[in-house]
A and B are shown apart, each in its own frame.
Chain A
Amino acid sequence: MFNYTFQWKQAMARLPQMLDGAIVTMQVAILSMVIGVLLAILLTMFRLSGSRILSAIAKTWVEVARNTPALFQIYMAHFGLGSFGLHLSPFMSLLLGITFNNAGYLAENFRGALKAIPDTQTRAARSLGFGATDAFRYVVLPQMLRIAFLPMTNQMVWAILMTSLGVTVGMNTDLFGVTQDLNALTFRTFELFAIAAVIFYVITKIVTLGARLLAIRLFRY
């Protein structure tokens, strides 16, 4: 039987610290998304380039990012690179790990989105005098980003939740790291984790609702 007296007042006193942590969590998530989207576009272009080497690089990246646990990717960014003498701070390790993961998943989303755009779009653009690059940039890419917009929101939510893995590489400034630190200090595990869960929920809810509103504005015809 659950044998415990909840002391919310004691735990709520730590709320400001946890909210500071939530800001760091958002910083990591947003940075990892921005860089991840750029990398994913690059990977998608690698695949379209027709070059064997470039498309092999893109394929390997996507395969590793999608078929290994995010925890492993973050751990490798810290201790894996560390064993080669390349020392990243916990923040950078976490950012690198999540960005790597984001880029892999997003590249696959973009590939799916590209398939949904008929070839005739490119052909029409070319026949209007666009070069190959310009046709991709001005005609295909905007449509691809539109189709992939909601999957991108998904990935953003996933990135926010993945920041919680930072504790394994010594991160103690993000929401989960702060929570874990406070937990060690006070042993108020249940209250603190419940508060952290609510904060995570609220953040991700705001992100998904915000994205939906943004989509209505951006994509009306």
Chain B
Amino acid sequence: MRERNVNSWAGGLLLGVVLLYAAALLFAPIFALLSGAFRDGIEPVLNALTTPDALAALRLTATLAISAALINAILGLICAWVLVRHEFPGRRFFNALVDLPFVVSPVIVGYVMIVLFGRMGWLKDFPVQLAFSVEGMLLVTVFVSLPFVIREVQPTLAALTNEQEEAAYTLGASQWLTFRRIIFPTIRHALTYGVVLTLARALGEFGAIAVIGGGVQGATETATIYVFRSMHDRNPISAYSMAVLLGLIAVLILVMMNKLRPGHRKGH
């Protein structure tokens, strides 16, 4: 590590810009959020968070986020495996397609789902009702958070040479045992990191689930939609309280991510 003196005026200017940037974008909102929420002490906050609607919204957010994380953990692992280990026509295309959820606006994702599965949609006879339902919301949540696990796991899988598996085979290990004892321990870290990212993304999702779920109070309203509605209903304490709680969860996830970040744990 090399330390540099910030003594030149150019260095000072840069530092100033960074501080100003952080103050405007990070510290000011956090301060505003906390002072708004706790303006009348902690009691109104707790009251706001324990109303039936708030609890229902939190429950739904947790359900969606955890389910999406689990589904993407498994499907993402399989996708990463196939993309790294199998040669098939169109592999490069599929590989590029994985990033689609990163570039498409979630609102559009939700809208496309309505177009497909809504009452007038092409697939309106699909056996599971997806429009304005929790199932539909889960589907779009899975979609918008799809790339994280794949993109985290892919490079670690690629770095694992075939020869380690072959060495295990010659020592008598079955394919399943080789996966469990040799491959999984190597990718476990990246997988966890990808799952945490998925969780974070799913918790914060708004556009896609608002469109496909319709934001029905107590039914398809998540924590983020709850904040949005409270704001509109001129109920600032509810909006502030839920926002603080979501912010707190976000900070926890941030801490977890920093502990898990690939490369941090190398060499034990």
| Chains A and B form a bound pair | no
Residues of A within 8 A of B (CB): none
Binding site for A on B (CB under 8 A): none
